[in-house]
Amino acid sequence: MVQELYYINTGFFKLDGGAMFGVVPKSMWSKLNQPDENNMCTWAMRCLLLKTEDRLLLIDTGMGDKQDLKFRSHFSPHGSDNLIQSILDTGYSIEDVTDVLLTHLHFDHCGGAVSKNSDGVLSPTFSNATYWTHREHYNWAMQPNDREKASFLKENFNPLLQAGVLEFYNESKKIWPKEIKVRIYNGHTQAMMAFEFDFNGENYLYCADLIPSSGHISIPFIMSYDVQPLISIKEKSELLEYAAQKNSYLIFEHDPKIAAAKVKLNDSGRVILA
């Protein structure tokens, strides 16, 4: 049973509004997330900390802070929150984390999993944790296509494999935390994991990049980053219908303001925020 839930804010970053909303015209998306003078919108990197009977699970890690200034200048990380402090603020220590569940290996989801010390040595941030990814996704990230290459930074996950702390969800179900149900999606990237669990009598869905913000509820609002946008549409429609039926909370990893919301069907059968 999930006994405690904490949103772990790891700060904000910027991504091009056009890239985030795909074919949707700016006149529409700019009402949902106001861009700056360079068309860049602010997005959260919202992780999750879940306490179960015997484990402390961290879902995703934000982008971390080990990249150089040039890399960071493309994404303008900002805000006062960071991964480590946000975990400490819950009362738990970094050593308490037993499992790090990575939805996928894009830098803004797994960058905080590996830290760089003052000598430039890379090592797992959470020294007592098992790190989880999906084998099919890991293989996909290790031989990246030209569109996603810039998002898969090997320094974010190779040190986990080298340290022997990386587990693959497919092969290790026996030690996978039983409270967390995995949903696999292929529209955004190959074999991304979204997570479902119950807490306090409510059902929660951590959508990762399938529904990155509350502004992405509407079906055609699909990111240009997605490798298979028509698959994303199908996957998103199914998830939204499920969430509406089950009265689930959707957790939005990138929404700058709304951490979680429920959805409902309107009179014309469209899914909208409840």
Q: Which residues form the interface with Zn ion (CB under 5 A)?
A: 106, 209
Q: What is the 3-state secondary structure (H, E, C) of 143-206?
A: CCCCCCHHHCCHHHCHHHHHCCCEEEHHHCHHHCCCCCEEEEECCCCCCEEEEEEEECCEEEEE
Closer residue to Zn ion in complex, CB, 256/265: 256
Identify any residues that bridge with 43 across adjacent strands, giving them in sequence order: 13
Shortest gap between Cβ of 4 and Zn ion (angstroms)?
27
Closer residue to Zn ion in complex, CB, 169/225: 225
Tell me how far apart the alpha carbons of residues 52 and 101 are, in angstroms, rounded to a whole number. Answer: 14
Q: Which residue number has the CB closest to Zn ion?
A: 106
Residue 239: how many other CB atoms lie within 10 Å: 22
Shortest gap between Cβ of 219 and Zn ion (angstroms)?
19
Closer residue to Zn ion in complex, CB, 15/40: 15
Tell me how far apart the alpha carbons of residues 139 and 130 are, in angstroms, rounded to a whole number. Answer: 19
Q: What is the 3-state secondary structure (H, E, C) of 58-94?
A: EECCCCCCCCCHHHHHHHCCECCCCHHHHHHCCCCCH
Closer residue to Zn ion in complex, CB, 99/253: 253
Shortest gap between Cβ of 96 and Zn ion (angstroms)?
27
Closer residue to Zn ion in complex, CB, 106/216: 106
Q: What type of residue sits at position 176?
A: W
Q: Residue 110: helix, strand or coil by DSSP?
A: helix
Shortest gap between Cβ of 225 and Zn ion (angstroms)?
6
Closer residue to Zn ion in complex, CB, 2/58: 58
Shortest gap between Cβ of 253 and Zn ion (angstroms)?
9
Distance of CA 23 to the CA centre of its chain: 22
Shortest gap between Cβ of 224 and Zn ion (angstroms)?
12
DSSP one-letter string for 35-63: --TTSEEEEEEEEEEEE-SS-EEEE----
Shortest gap between Cβ of 209 and Zn ion (angstroms)?
4
Residue 107: how many other CB atoms lie within 10 Å: 21
Closer residue to Zn ion in complex, CB, 147/264: 147
What is the Cα Rg of the chain in Å? Answer: 18
Tell me how far apart the alpha carbons of residues 178 and 18 are, in angstroms, rounded to a whole number. Answer: 39
